[in-house]
Every structure is written in C-alpha cells, then in structure tokens.
Amino acid sequence: MVKVASNKTKMREQPPEERIRNFEEVPYGYSMEEAVAEANRCIQCKKPSCVQGCPVEINIPEFIRLIKEGDLRNSIRVLKETNVLPAVCGRVCPQEEQCEKYCILAKKMEPVAIGRLERFAADWEAQQGDAEIPRMKKPTGKRVAVVGTGPAGITVAGDLIQLGIEVTMYEALHEAGGVLVYGIPEFRLPKRIVAREIAHVCRMGVKLIKNVVIGTSLTVDDLLKEYDAVFIGSGAGLPWFMEIPGENLNNIYSANEYLTRANLMKAYRFPEYDTPIAHGKVVTTIGGGNVAMDSARTALRLGAKRSIVIYRRSRNEMPARDEEIHHAEEEGIVFHFLTNPVAYHGDALGMVQEVECLRMELGEPDSSGRRRPIPIEGSNFRIPVDVVVVSIGNSPNPLIPNTTPGLETGKWGNIIIDEETGRTSKKGVFAGGDVASGAATVISAMGAGKKAAKSILQYLRDGKW
C-alpha cells in the first residue's frame, strides 16, 4: 500500500491580520494540484465508513476518485446526485462531526479533507459557467408551493421541478437563500454562491416570489386552494434573549439583527448602503456556536479593536465548527469561558456600557450530555462594552403555526412532522428543516427537504394521507 501523508493538504488562506479588515472569503480553496494531492490520500475503501457519517450519503470515494482522475465534470455529477448545494456544504458543514469523523484515516492521522474536496469540485463547476440543467420529467400538471428559500426549501423545489411538478417558492425577505444570505457572513460563504444556486433552480423553472410573508400576505390555507401541496421550510428565525436586566439597552443586538444588518442589508458598506450598524471599539458576543463565531468575527471586520466571546461552558463544549473556532482564535477573538452575563448597565442615553457577568464552574452532565454550568455565587464582575450581540439560540417563528388551523407544534414552537415523510398534522402540508428540527444544520435541512420531496411526490400520485 502506498504511504498516505498524515496531514490534510493545507488550504491557503488570507492571513489573519489582513482578513480582519475585509469581508472577503477567508480560505482561497485548493488548486488542481492540491486537490489531486488530497484526493490521493483517500484509500478508496470498499466499505467506506465516511458515507455513513454523511446525512445525505454522498458517494464520497467515487467523487474523490474522479477528482484524482481529473474528471471534474463527473465528480460534480456524483456530488449533485445527493447534494444539490455542494459549494455551500463544502464550506459550512461540520465535517469533523460527519463524514471526516468516520473516515478510516481519522483513526491514525488526519482524515481526508472531504469538505475541501467537495468545495473544490463545486467551485470548478461554477467557473465553467451556468450549471447543467438536468433532464426534466414531463409536466404532471401538479403544483406545489414552497414556503421559505433556505436550504430546505431550495432542495424541495429543485427535486420536485425535475419530477415535472410546477413549483413556486415564497420568500418573506427581499432576497432568497434563508440563513445562507441573511445569517452566514460573506467571509465564510460568499453571497454569489447562494445567488448562483437560487438562479439555478429558477432556470430549471421554479417560480420565485419574494416579499410575501406566509401567514399574513397569504395564509397556508390560501396556498392550499391554489396548490396541490405545500412545503413549509421557514427555518428557526426567532431570536432568543436571556431576559436579564438592561437587555433592551441600545447597541444590544440579537445575532440575527446584527448579522442581517451586516450581511443582507450590507451595513458594512454604510453610508453607501442606507442601513446603519453600531461600530463599537469593544464588541461582546454571548454564546458559543457558529452564530456567535460569525458575529464576533463580523465585529472585527466592522472595526472593533477588541471582540470578546462570552460562553458559559468551556472550550470543549463549544458547539461551533472546529474551523470557525480556529479561525476566530487566529483572528484574535478574546474568549471568556465559564462566564455568563447577568445584567447590562447603560448610560443616560440608554446606550449599553457594561456587561455584568458571573463566573461559572462545570457540574454533572445535563440532558445534552455536556457538563452543566453552575454559577459561582458572588463572583460578579463587569466588562466595559460598546456593543453586545446576543447569540444564544433561535426557535421557529410562530407566524405560520399561529395562522394555520390544524398545524400542530411542539414545545419550542417547532412544527411536528413525521421524520420519514415530512408530513405535518394537516393534510397536504409538509415541513422540514429548522422549522421542524429547531436550529440545526444546512445539511440536515437539505436531508429533510429530500425526504419531503419524495413523499410529496407520493402524495400527489395517490392522494393518500
């Protein structure tokens, strides 16, 4: 057997001191040579364990083999058989917990850089111009409405249109793409990539109607009068606050607001763009997930001298992707672990000035399996701040459930579905992605979209519920 290099082929990146001053993407991606070198590390297992770690079961060894052979056209075809958004997933999937975690090499050395290779193949395709339009089935005369244009909605729309079903996507905002456009920053996922994917489904014939809020502009029942089925992929867009004193002071944002202003509204280009955002010298982000990392890193790029992350557990429990934590550390983000805010203090104009925190220690594991943080009595201390970004989680927006009789929801306002089929409690209505699972991942939203598309097709054929 040939000897396999023990480390992943490095991906060139913008140096930290440079990139914190711009919104350009951080990694440059592999060159052809680098990609082939990395592809050569894959030993082409007969029973590839990586695939079981992939929520959509991409034929990983096959797409990597095709890269090795320089047959990128077919490599991207293999990827797209099961993953309609490889350029997105290659950049944002938590590979270390999925495919790469299960890669056989990971037992002895670094796993194959599956995510980087996926990104490479997808970026190659983008350079070739518009993506291929797949073979489309004959029109069936059936019509489906998709609510929301995040990864779940895009997947359902893309799958159904190919099956000869007329699809209309409805989006509340003025741009399609869901969290991929309003949440995840440009430096991690360039917006042109998302725009290209949206354009692709539209070229296949999907109709996109923006600026329509389902639940108010039109209800789900209105849609059911016009369409044979409805898919709800409206995400988990409702931001949580901690409900502690002073939280409504000015310059305390939810991560959703902070990132929406920066990304979707392009506040980083104010005053060329009209939407403002607070530029603080010291910005403090509360939380430890991807959303928190994105907020803290955005703050640096908006000119913060010091960007602090406050997290109530320790580094080991942080739910963010490894790469994000690594990049954040390289960029000089300051972490206060085992720390939790208890109050905010402001000035006479109502601007936040200080965050008051408690130190924590870790106790027994809780229901999430992570050790529970316990406050240390009397350990209060204050950090001076100009801007705070609260990034402690999101749940589904109640707008649709509240206006849709017969649609059952769970404890967190999530729409209850049958996991295998995406069926809700209401006939003809399917759901999937974050609106059903609660805030999760791009790939799980796509996986849910795939399942729903299949069962929507079944339902359109036999009308059985």
Partner 1 sequence: MIQIVDRSMLVPNIHLLTLEAPLVASKIQPGHFVIIKANEKGERIPLTVADWNREKGTVSCAFMQVGRSTRKLAALKMGDEVETFVGPLGKAIDINRFGTVACVGGCYGIGSIYPVARAIKSAGNRVVSLIEARSRFLLYWEEKIRQVSDALIVSTSDGSKGEKGHNSDRLREMLGEGQSIDLVVAIGCTFMMYAVSEATRSFGVKTIVSLNPIMVDGTGMCGACRVEVGGKTKFACVDGPDFDGHEVDWGLVLARRKAYIRHETVSEEAS
Ligand X SMILES: Cc1cc2nc3c(=O)[nH]c(=O)nc-3n(C[C@H](O)[C@H](O)[C@H](O)COP(=O)(O)OP(=O)(O)OC[C@H]3O[C@@H](n4cnc5c(N)ncnc54)[C@H](O)[C@@H]3O)c2cc1C
Interface positions, 317-346, toward ligand X (CB under 6 A): 321
> Binding of ligand SF4 at residue 103 (CB under 6 A)?
yes
Asked if 231 and 145 touch (Cβ cutoff 8 Å), the reply is yes
Asked if 378 and 360 touch (Cβ cutoff 8 Å), the reply is no
> Binding of ligand X at residue 153 (CB under 6 A)?
yes
- How many CB atoms are located within 10 Å of the residue 175 CB? 18
């082409």: which residue's tokens?
44
Amino acid at residue number 421: T
Between residues 79 and 291, which has the closer beta carbon with respect to ligand X?
Answer: 291
Give min distance, CB of 44 to ligand X, in A. Answer: 27
Asked if 378 and 357 touch (Cβ cutoff 8 Å), the reply is no
> Binding of partner 1 at residue 248 (CB under 8 A)?
yes
Residue 49 interaction partner, one of partner 1, ligand SF4, ligand X, none, beta carbon < 5-8 Å per kind: ligand SF4
> Binding of partner 1 at residue 132 (CB under 8 A)?
no
Residue 50 interaction partner, one of ligand X, partner 1, ligand SF4, none, beta carbon < 5-8 Å per kind: ligand SF4
In sign, the C-alpha dihedral spanning 290, 200, 143, 137 is negative
Residue 400 interaction partner, one of partner 1, ligand SF4, ligand X, none, beta carbon < 5-8 Å per kind: ligand X
> Binding of ligand SF4 at residue 278 (CB under 6 A)?
no
Residue 462 interaction partner, one of ligand SF4, partner 1, ligand X, none, beta carbon < 5-8 Å per kind: none
> Binding of ligand X at residue 157 (CB under 6 A)?
no
Residue 328 interaction partner, one of partner 1, ligand X, ligand SF4, none, beta carbon < 5-8 Å per kind: none
Asked if 357 and 340 touch (Cβ cutoff 8 Å), the reply is yes
Contacts with ligand X, 69-98, as mask; x by CB under 6 A: -----------------------xx-----
Rounded Cα distance, 116 and 304, in Å: 30
Asked if 149 and 200 touch (Cβ cutoff 8 Å), the reply is no
Written as six digits, the tokens of 248 are 């409504």
Of the candidate residues 64, 160, 206, 214, the single one contacting ligand X (CB under 6 A): 214
* Residue 450, H or E segment: helix 442-462
Interface positions, 339-358, toward partner 1 (CB under 8 A): 349-350
SS3 268: helix
Helices (H), 227-321: 255-259, 290-301
Amino acid at residue number 247: E
SS3 347: coil
Peptide bond just before 398 cis, omega within 30 deg: no
Give min distance, CB of 83 to ligand SF4, in A. Answer: 15
Using CB under 8 A, list all residues that contact partner 1. 172-174, 210-213, 216-218, 237-239, 241, 243, 247-251, 253-254, 256-257, 260-261, 265-266, 270-276, 278, 349-350, 397-399
Using CB under 6 A, list all residues that contact ligand SF4. 42-45, 48-50, 60-61, 103-105, 112, 114
